[in-house]
Copies of this chain bind each other. A is one copy, B any other.
Amino acid sequence: MNPAWTLASKAAAVEAALNTLFCEPEPTPRVRLNESLRYSIVGGGKRLRPVLLLSFAELGGCDMDAAMDFACAIELIHTYSLIHDDLPCMDNSDLRRGRAANHCVFGEAGAVLAGDGLLNGAFELMLSSTSPIAAEYKLAAAAELAAASGRLGMIAGQVIDIENECHRVSPTAADLTQLCRLKTGAIIRGACVAGLKLAGVTDPEKLGAAARYADALGLAFQIRDDMLDVLSSAEAMGKSVGHDAENGKVTFASLLGIDGCRAEVDRLTDEAVAALEVFGGDEFLAGLAEMMARRDH
């Protein structure tokens, strides 16, 4: 199947599963916690991370339905990080996925607690999953995601990012690469590796290949994002663009130039596709890497 259709179909399945979450009545009338969680989760996004988790789980022989709680969990983690990132004391962003940021609608305290609720909720979902997967595999997959989102993964990236802003540091390409591997890359890597672990895969060669695919895809994704901030229209991106240059922000685009970025994205995409060889290749995952390299939003 055309990888774009497969992506759309898997993302729609994730969307449907996410839609069943947090539907209980609120504990008291004034409380709007579930409403707030649903506001941020159901508000769109590419669902790239859950689709990666599902696809690597399938590659390891695990049924997509059985992996769905874990796929949703990774989207909850991603969404919590966006809510906290947008807070006034962090990036102070009012817009997210084309809508008002969570803190603009539910207040700052509400947004702190909504983020906490989603991060905690991700683990609730994984740990109480009734999916027919061995406890050992569930534990290994959840541990992988916990490490990816934790203080040596995504949170380290967020801290470094905040510190760079505070001290007006001008990062080199190597600094940006390290930041990207932590802030956005760790979760993408976690999604791919946890997918395999959920399927009971323990072969270090396969786990390493999933990590290499994820690292190349994640870095290419970020470089493409920086290119699009220069090239793209606000309409296509669904958010304001040209921000980076206006703010004098150092990005891959400002460091490597557009042609340099394009060459790097191509190189990384080849690397991602090559990493799939140990699985005998995978049409969808290879196509996904190529789609992400050429995307215009």
Contacts and interface: CB of A to CB of B under 8 A. Distances in A.
A116 B139 CA distance: 21
A156 to B, nearest CB: 5
Contacts of A139: 127, 135, 138-139
A49 to B, nearest CB: 16
Given A151-B22, A155-B33, A159-B31, A123 B123 contact: yes
Interface in A15-73: 22, 24, 27-28, 30-31, 33-34, 37
Given A123-B146, A124-B143, A135-B136, 10 more contacts: A27-B152, A28-B160, A33-B159, A89-B107, A110-B159, A116-B119, A120-B150, A123-B123, A127-B143, A139-B139
Contacts of A241: none
A184 to B, nearest CB: 15
Interface residues of A, number: 54
A116 B123 CA distance: 13
Contacts of A292: none
A147 interface: yes
The 4 closest A-B pairs by CB, nearest first: A127-B143, A89-B108, A135-B135, A135-B136
**Which of A107, A123, A163 gathers the greatest number of chain B CB atoms within 10 Å?**
A123
Interface of A is mostly: helix
Contacts of A121: 150-151
A158 interface: yes
A113 B163 contact: no
A69 to B, nearest CB: 12
Contacts of A113: 84, 155, 158-159, 162
A156 B123 contact: no
B147 A124 contact: yes
Contacts of A123: 123, 142, 146
A155 B163 CA distance: 29
Nearest to A124: B146
A167 B108 CA distance: 16
